[in-house]
Structure 1
Amino acid sequence: MKALCFHEHGDLDVLRYDDVPDPEPGPGQVLVRVRACALNRLDVWVRRGWPGLKLEMPHWTGADVAGEVAGLGDGVTGWEVGQRVVVDPGVSTCEDEFTRRGEHSLSPGYVIRGEQIRGGQAEYVVAPATDLMSIPDDADAPH
């Protein structure tokens, strides 16, 4: 797939439109074909970098993703290929006292798509099935 990525931190000149491996949904995950991804200030900060920020390179940003379900990992129910969705930018990577109380963003395992993990500035993104929200049929498609 194609992704707007960078291999080092810097200004706009570090961005490249590269071929990267297609993501595969694991158990409980959904493959989403990205139809829209907003650009926000976090994307600029991550691209520029800051002391202590460690990312797997190449990296691509994009926290705010809308698209359609393109594939389902094992055990996923309630979603269908072709269904339009919005992807929650926050991802819980573990279960702990905070996630059990529904306070996911307080967990040390909480990460933001496009910051600590690769984001939606690509053709596809993989997300936990629990992190998707359906886009109503009567809502306009992203342009």
Structure 2
Amino acid sequence: MSYVPATLRRLVTQRAGDKCEYCQFPQTASLFAFEMEHIIAEKHDGITESENLALSCPYCNRFKGSDIGSIDPETGQLTPFFNPRLQQWSDHFRLEGGTIVPLTPEGRVTAKILQFNLLERILERQQLSNSD
């Protein structure tokens, strides 16, 4: 993985509002540091620049890995993941309690592969919303 300069890290973090751009979990509520995630992985010729980087929690980054899409469980079609640089989160997902509900094919494949709705992740989001 390429080195990401501090100025670029700050830009990505500020642009993300200090939360994971995939699951929307706030960095301030995490025990672990968030990561600079290549939306298009370097092995797929993704470059280390602002428009290809997203702030990602460790869960989302590990589950996504270098993948760029998956098979939509409803259509059976190869579908790219949600891209936080090109798409709006609220167009593809809705938060209901602690569950992230996918609204589109991109949302479905992203929620499935990044495992948004594992029980521990749902409980963590519920606890966070109860503390507000």
TM-score (norm 2): 0.32
Q: Highest relative contact order (Cα 8 Å, sep 6+), 1 or 2? A: 1
Q: In proportion to residue count, which structure has more strand?
A: 1
